[in-house]
Each structure stands twice: as structure tokens, then as C-alpha cells.
Structure 1
Amino acid sequence: MATPKFNKNILEFFKTLEKNNNRDWFNEHKPEFKANEAVAKSAYKQIFDNLNAHDQIEKFKMFRIYRDVRFSKNKLPYKTHFGGSFSRKKPELRGGYYLHVQPNNESFIATGFWEPNKEDLLRIRREFEQDDQEIREIINDKTFKKVWGEFVGNELKTAPRDFDKEHPAIDLIRKKQFIFTKKYSDTEVTSANFIDNVDTSFKAIRPFFDYMSDVLTTNLNGESII
């Protein structure tokens, strides 16, 4: 059986939906959407299986096409992309994976920590305050950087409360999110080796995940808290 992959029909459907983002058009073309959704779900499932060959993934979730417009100024009813997340086994393994498939070269993968709770965020900051050598060795490794580049995400303009704004690790301490992303073109997304490329990229994040998992399951003395 051929490896499931994201095909050009998926991207073309979303391009057309962008121009016809209304319920009448969508209902008329719902069979086409369901066919594309089934192909995409098969591809996400393959990524899930690949991840489980070298990580422990509890579940994957492919997000629905319907937008929640209740509190949004954008009242268009449908997303024009597929998105799916992959959750690692908790509480011992931390971090997560995400794949976003959207036409016009807007596809990307992301990994890391989107919204750490206040306890986790403080623990991470205290670790960086105490010793930032190990995390810098990981994120500055040439192989790692070639795949993932630099951190992205929100950060404070100055030091958090009770932290020294002159601390040598303040560039890390003031971060509120710890995310890496990698973009893909439409040609790359529809290529035969896209799913393998995604898996290789996800595999490259493991030193970062191993480090952060160790931090978030221990106290500053290195004693387990789980």
C-alpha cells in the first residue's frame, strides 16, 4: 500500500474555499471536502504511527473545519487549512507536535510549549536562571539549528517579576513560549517524501524535549516531583 500523503486536491479545495467561504457553497461541495478530509486523516495517522516508533504519543487530534466565530471579528465559517496535534505521554514526557497544511506555501510544522501554565513557566525560568549552559548547547547545535532555527513565540519586553533584568540568561528567561517552527512550500507538502521529512524533523527536536521533560518533572535540586 502506498504511503498516505497530502495531495494537490486538498490544497486546491482550500484555495477554492478561500473564495467561497460560505455555508451554501460548502454544503454543496461537502462530499469533496469529506474525501479530502479522509486522505488527510490517513496522512496524520501515518505521522502518528511514525512518531510512535521513536517517541510515546498518547493520541493525535485533527481539528475540525468549522471555525468558532462567537468571539471573533472574522465571521467566516470555515478554516482554510487542516491542522492536527500529537500529544506525548504525560506526566513524564512534555512538549507536543503540530502540523498545519494550508495552500499558498503557508504550511508548517511546530513543536514545543505553546502555553506553559504559570508553575511550569516559573520552573523553566528558574532553571535558566540557575544554569543556561545545557539549553544553549542544545538549541545552538548545528544539526538542530539547521532543522529548527531559532525560538519563536511571545516574550516579555523586560525581566519577569523577581528576576534580574541584567541576568546573562535574560533573553531566555523573559520568554513566555518556547516554540520552534518549520515552513513548507506547496510543492514540498505534496511530494512523496513529505511525511518522512516531517518525521525526521520531529525526531530532531528530541534533545530539547528530553531536556525540558527532565526540568519539568524535577525540582531545582534534580529530585523527581512525579
Structure 2
Amino acid sequence: MFSKQTFEFLHTLSDNNEREWFKANQAQYESQVRTPALAFIEAMKPHILEMSPRLTAVPKKVGGSMMRPQRDSRFSKDKSPYKLNVGIQFRHFQGKDVHAPGLYVHIANDGCFLGAGIWHPESKALNAIRHCIDENPNGYKKALSQLTAAGFELSGSSLIRPPRGFDKQHPLIGELKRKDFIAIKPLTPEQVYADDFIDTCVKEYGQVQQLMAYLCFALDLDY
């Protein structure tokens, strides 16, 4: 599936991030990046569905679990057209975009990692998660204990002040300030292109299932 050539292509792309170059090297992108990614998604599909039949693993070039290579540079000073990473999300089937609860793989020369949870949820969903933590703290604490013991760490941005309606002395105020609920565990490139990468992902994703179930419960989604 993934190989050293996957990383080499992404490195070369960083020095040639132009549409003309990418078009001229499209075949290399297909063989070294997209084809291995689609094969990975296909191989992961039965394992993902075993974790939850509500998660999706769709090995399609467009509109599937693999994120498109093009950057959205409309609101960025950086106008380079292509991402320098491979992003794959096994998201909840009721989610419309990357802001849905899901499992994630990030492959890049500046860092690889596995992720699980929800990134930048819209305000209604974020409020629902916060109220769930307030009303059901024990389930959240158990999820945190499981992922922490497995070497995952909650990442993302947080508010500076407590969210409106919550006591600043709340025992979980640090968690309630979160704007993202993403558990991250770093990977080495060698792990990514190792023969047992599927086994690694299955094992690691098994350690974040309580978090996934908790977030879906908070959002009134089946899991």
C-alpha cells in the first residue's frame, strides 16, 4: 500500500506546488499516493464496519473517505494549490463533511498521526457535547482514561474563558473549554509503510471507541 515513494512524492510536491507540475506528474500521484490510499481504505473497510456499522469507508477517487488533494486557499495567504499530506476520514454516515465524528489518518513528511473524534463542530453540536460532559461526566472520564492509557492525547483549540452558562469552577472546565474533541496519536513514516499498518490502525482505533461512542451519544447519533 503506502511506501517510501508516497513520502517522496509529497516531498517533491512541496518543491513544485504548481498545477502545471502536478498535471505533468499525475500518473506518479496516482501510483504512489492515491492508489495506495484507496487500497488502504478498501482493506480497512471490514474493520471499520466491525467497530461501528455507522462509520463509512468509501474507496472512491472523489466523494469518498480520501480527502481531495486540492487546497481551499480562498481565505489563506498561502495560495499553493495542493495539500502536502494524505488525509483519510472514516466518518459517521450521518455527517456531511469533515466536521462529523470519525476516525482519521494523516500522512505527511512533517508528521503522521491517527485521530479520532470531532473537529471544529458547529456551535449546536459543540454545545450538545459540553452539556453532555456536564451531565454525564463519568462516561467522558472513562473515555479519556482509555485513550490516554493507549498513548492518545486530546488536541485542538480551546476557549480562553469558560463557555457561557458553565461555572468557571467546574471540575471539568478545561474539557468544557474545548472547541475540538480530537484524540491524536503520532505515527512514524516507517509504521505507515510497514506491512502491518492495517493491524496497527485496527489496534489503535480500538483504544478510542469509548470516545467515539460518547461523542455520538452526546450528538444523539447511533454508534
TM-score by length of 2: 0.84
Provide the alpha-carbon RMSD of the alignment: 2.2
SS at 2:155 equivalent: coil
Pair 1:68 & 2:65 matched: no
**2:19 aligned with 1:23:** yes
Indicate conservation of the 8 Å contact 2:44/2:57, yes or no. no
Q: Which has the larger radius of gyration?
A: 1
**1:107 pairs with 2:112:** yes
In structure 2, distance between residues paired with 1:90 and 1:69: 27
Kindly state the Cα deviation for residue 59 of structure 1 after the two structures are TM-superposed: 4.3
1:73-152 alignment, distance < 5 Å: 73-90=77-94, 95-104=101-110, 106-141=111-146, 144-152=147-155
- 1:53 counterpart residue number: 50
Structure 1 stretch 127-136 or stretch 72-81: which is displaced more?
127-136
Cα separation, 1, equivalents of 2:74 and 2:94: 32
Aligned equivalents of 2:172 and 2:74: distance in 1? 41
- For residues 149 and 85 of structure 1, what CA distance do their matches in structure 2 show? 17
Which residues of 2 match residues 128-207 of structure 1 at below 5 A? 128-141=133-146, 144-207=147-210
Q: 1:46–1:129: structure 2 CA closer, same or farther, 3 Å change rule?
A: same
Partner of 2:2: 6
State the secondary structure of the residue aligned to 2:140.
helix
Aligned residues: 210
Q: Is structure 2 residue 40 aligned with structure 1 residue 43?
A: yes
Q: 1:69 to 1:169 in 2, by over 3 A?
A: closer
Please give the per-residue CA displacement for 1:162-212, whole angstroms capped at 9, x wherever unaligned: 211112221221112111111111111111111210121112211122223
Once the two structures are aligned, what percentage of the paired residues are identical?
27
Q: By how many angstroms is 1:213 displaced?
A: 2.3
Q: Secondary structure at the match of 2:104?
A: strand
- Please report the TM-score for the alignment, with normalisation by the length of structure 1: 0.83
Query: CA 1:172–1:74 in structure 2 vs 1: closer, same or farther (change >3 Å)?
Result: same
Contact 2:41 2:57 in 1 (8 A): no
Q: Secondary structure at the match of 2:116?
A: strand
Structure 2 gaps of 5+ residues are 59-64
Report if aligned partners of 2:142, 2:210 keep a CA contact under 8 Å in 1. Answer: no
Verify the 8 A CA contact 1:148 1:180 in the aligned structure 2.
Answer: no
**Of 208, 214, 219, which aligns to 1:211?**
214
Change (3 A) 1:77 1:96: same
SS of 1:53 mapped into structure 2: helix
1:109 maps to a residue whose letter is L
TM-aligned CA distance change 1:212 to 1:70, over 3 Å: closer
Deviations 1:34-74 (A, max 9, x none): 11211221112212332113321234421122222232211
**Residues 99-138 of structure 1, C-alpha deviations (whole Å, 9 max, x = no match):** 111125x111111011223222222222222342231132
